[in-house]
Structure formats: C-alpha cells, structure tokens
Amino acid sequence: MEHRALSRLAAPAVAALLALTTGCTGSAVQGRPGASGLRDPYFPKAGNGGYQVDHYELDLDYDPADGRLHGTAVITARAEQGLSAFNLDLSGLEVEEVTVQGAGARYNRSGNELTVRPAEDLEKGEVFRTEVDYSGKPKALTDADGAKEGWITTGDGAVGVGEPVGSMTWFPGNHHPSDKAAYDITLTVPKGYEAVSNGELRSRTTRPDGRTAFAWHSPEPMASYLATAVVGKYEVATGRTPSGVPLYNAVAPGEAAASAAKLARLPEMVEWAGARFGPYPFGTAGAIVLPAGSLTYALETQTRPVFSGAPSSEELVLHELAHQWFGDSVSPASWKDMWLNEGFATYAEWLWTEDHGGPTAQEHFDAFLTGDTEVDAEAGSDWYAFAPAAPPGPEDISGDPVYHRGAMVLHRIRQEVGDEKFSALLGGWAAEHRHGNATTAAFTAYAQEKTGHDLKKVWDVWLYGQARPR
C-alpha cells in the first residue's frame, strides 16, 4: 500500500515530500506539527501536543490461541492549534492504514511515536476524526522499577494495563493522564471467552462465526492508563450497591473461592467511601480478578480495578476503590503528582480500618514513625527515602514514600486542622476536580484555603522535605 511504502521512507524524505505536497494544495490553513511529547517530568515523550482527545472508539479483536490483536481505533479529538501533523503514542504492532476525516493520511513511525500527516491541515478548534487500523502481537513493557505493564498474557487469555505508559502497547492514543476522554471499547473474542473492560457492558453479540463481541461504554472522562481489556475464562457476577450503583465482577475460576469474602464487601465499601469522599464518581463499579501471578500488582483501572489473583486483603480492595475518587476521577496532572493518587488511597485504607475496629489512622501513622510492623505490616518500609511530592526518577513514582509518607502528609494535615475540616477537605478536593486533573500545588493551595490553616510546615517537612521527618 502507498501509506505503508511511504512510512518506510526516512523522516527527512517524508518531510521534503510533504513540504512539496503542502505547497501544491494551496491550503488556506497554515498548520504546524504538534509536539511529540508533553514534557512530563518523568516521561517527557508520553502524550502529544496540539490536540485533546474527546473520545476513543476501540474495536479490538483478540485471539488468545495465537496472541494476535487486530484493532481499529477511531479517535475524535479537538485541535488546539493549526496542525500540519500530529503524533499518537504506539509501541510495537503494525499500522495498516490511517485516515483523518475520512481521507487517507500519510504517517511514519519512530520509536513509540506514530506521526500522522493529514491530507489537509487541521484548523485550531477543529474537531477531527482519526482512524488507525493496526494488528500484530502486542507486547508487555518493563518499567524503570522492573514491573511489567502493557499487554500481558495470562493463563488462558490476556490483560491490558497501562500505568504509566503501557496502554500504547495495545492502542494508539494520547497516552498521558492530562488528556482524559470517553471510551467505547469493543472486544471480540473466540467462543467461550469472556471479555471485560471499563464501564457498562452495552451488548454481547455472538457472530455467525461464533466469535463474541463485548461492547463496553465509559462515558466519564478516563486517563488512558486506566483503560483495561481482559480476555479469558471468567466467572461473571452482577449486582448493585445499596444506593444502586451497578456492579460487574469477573473472577478467574481458580480464584473464586479465595476472592468471595473480600469482594462481598465491595457494595458496602462503595457506600462507605461515598459517605467519606462524596458521591461515587462513575456509573458502574466492580472488580476483575486475574489468574494468580498475572501481574505483580493490583491496578485501579477505572470503574473496575484488576487484581492479580484473589485480593490479598480487604484493605487492598478498599485501596483500589478509593482510587476511583483519587486518581481516576481526580487524576494527576503529571506523573510527578502520583502521591495525589497513592497517598490518598493509602490513607483511605487507614480510615477504613479506623472505622471498622482496626488500627486508627493515628496508630498507622505512629507505626510508621516507630517501624512497628505489628500494627501495619508496611511500617518497615523506607517511607522516608525521599519526599513524596518529588520522586527522584521514573523508577520511584510507585516507591514507598509516595504511598506511605503521602498518607502521613494527609494525617499531619488532619492533626493540624481537626477531623471535621479534614473530612470536608477530602470530599471537597474530590468534588473540586471531579473528572479532571490536578497538581500538587493546586492541592496545597486548596487545603490552605479550605481549612483556613497555614500548613506551610507540613508541606516543607512532610511533602517536600528530603530529611526524615520526626
């Protein structure tokens, strides 16, 4: 195909060719290329400049037998500048065709960047539709901290997870948390397999050839790292929370018995968190339990967190649920702000045990100060190794200080302002940035304004201070 042939040309040759083409069209719009990254402090090439995505429509056909994925991604976005070209992030896989506004577009690939050059420049403010057809065997990525993410094969299927950048292994997109969008993900799988993603299952259609298409709909904005796709043999259970949030759980059969008691508390947890943090931010909830050993972590994929094997504790289920407010609804503006996810979700665990006959948040806090692992098994971690708002590098964004010292920051605020104001702060923060993004600076400013307290010492010592706080 023409597009494929062009994509093999060296970049300068493409640029020269395109310069010529642009000159010939006499287009009134003078676009320039969008940036190839958003200059995230830890992942500078993640995401792309010049546009914001409104909606992803992903049609993914996956066969666990040969590990091949065929995908069509229809990306509806708004140009934030005149664009002669723009990038999508995509790792591996073969791009077969790209169209923009229905017309064939030239493209080329370099590393994880797919550069698309529409036939006509896009105007600032224009809403445009890009379709990418692609296929291949998607692969996992190994993060700076050694964890695997992206498309990962499981016992009898696969899972797509993407924190921080792995979603580019299974669909092209603007893969940075600052660009959130609605999603429709349709997964087509062989007969007898389940396919689970975020949001609401709109339809399940078996085709004449026996393959089944599962159409999942996520109307609320979602950061791409929170998208998931799970294929395999699963036991599905549906229900509702007492206040009516629909639940959809998918559990690997071998993990069903060990998961049952913990997942049974999910409806109550949704209600408890709603009372603590404000209304549940999404239209659906649930959990996905993968075969044991699929991942080395659990992830708060939006509306439906994934667990690798039966959740190890009730607190873990609560932690991933709390992320639905802190991380999923209120998403970090950059990966430097990760403590806004993990510090809050960890503190939610402390609040849960406090409200349910376990250690109080104060006892957890004290356990970390003294290293008392009898009260909190994680208290022996090096929670003081760096400042939670300033992880030294990309390998540290999921480090202990981000979680535990992050939670301790929140407890120090609570000590300063008292329970009532602290409670109002947590709910207020979730409401203030509902379905949006936030920076650490926005939080510190908001906390001071909302509580009326000068919290500078807490920020200096606990949030930004390098020394071990005492």
The residues of the shown chain that bind Zn ion, judged by CB under 5 A, are 342, 345
- C-beta closer to Zn ion: residue 305 or 428: 305
- C-beta closer to Zn ion: residue 248 or 307: 307
Task: Identify the residue whose tokens are 């976005």.
Answer: 77
Task: Give the nearest distance from C-beta 342 to Zn ion in angstroms.
Answer: 5
Locate the DSSP E strands across 42-180: 51-63, 68-79, 83-89, 94-100, 103-104, 106-110, 113-117, 127-136, 140-142, 148-153, 158-161
Residues comprising the chain, all counted: 470
The Cα 47–Cα 171 span in angstroms is 13
The Cα 128–Cα 125 span in angstroms is 9
Task: Give the nearest distance from C-beta 28 to Zn ion in angstroms.
Answer: 49
Task: Give the nearest distance from C-beta 269 to Zn ion in angstroms.
Answer: 15
Task: Identify the residue whose tokens are 């493209």.
Answer: 107
Task: Give the nearest distance from C-beta 300 to Zn ion in angstroms.
Answer: 6
Nearest CA to 162 out of 269, 44, 339, 300 is that of: 300
Helix/strand/coil (H/E/C) assignment for every residue in 79-110: ECCCEEEEEEECCCCEEEEEEECCEECEEEEE
Task: Give the nearest distance from C-beta 385 to Zn ion in angstroms.
Answer: 18
Residue 243 — φ and ψ, nearest 5°?
A: -90, 5
- C-beta closer to Zn ion: residue 173 or 327: 327
Structure-token pair, residue 327? 């991380």
The Cα 168–Cα 173 span in angstroms is 7
- C-beta closer to Zn ion: residue 115 or 331: 331
- C-beta closer to Zn ion: residue 187 or 345: 345
Task: Give the nearest distance from C-beta 298 to Zn ion in angstroms.
Answer: 8
- C-beta closer to Zn ion: residue 106 or 364: 364
Task: Give the nearest distance from C-beta 301 to Zn ion in angstroms.
Answer: 11
Structure-token pair, residue 435? 């379905």
The Cα 338–Cα 68 span in angstroms is 33
- C-beta closer to Zn ion: residue 84 or 301: 301
Give Rg (Cα) of the chain.
23
- C-beta closer to Zn ion: residue 93 or 345: 345
| Residue 421 one-letter amino acid | K
Strand, coil or helix: what is 233?
coil
C-beta of residue 143 within 8 angstroms of C-beta of residue 149: yes
Residue 70 — φ and ψ, nearest 5°?
A: -115, 125
- C-beta closer to Zn ion: residue 199 or 327: 327
The strand pairing partners of 183, in sequence order, are 56, 218
- C-beta closer to Zn ion: residue 79 or 345: 345
C-beta of residue 161 within 8 angstroms of C-beta of residue 306: yes
Q: Which residue's Cβ has the minimum distance to Zn ion?
A: 345
Task: Give the nearest distance from C-beta 328 to Zn ion in angstroms.
Answer: 10
Task: Give the nearest distance from C-beta 345 to Zn ion in angstroms.
Answer: 4
- C-beta closer to Zn ion: residue 179 or 342: 342
C-beta of residue 448 within 8 angstroms of C-beta of residue 455: yes
C-beta of residue 322 within 8 angstroms of C-beta of residue 343: no
Structure-token pair, residue 39? 């200059």
Task: Give the nearest distance from C-beta 381 to Zn ion in angstroms.
Answer: 14
Task: Give the nearest distance from C-beta 320 to Zn ion in angstroms.
Answer: 7
Give the orientation angle of helix 361-370 with respect to helix 339-355, to 10 degrees: 120
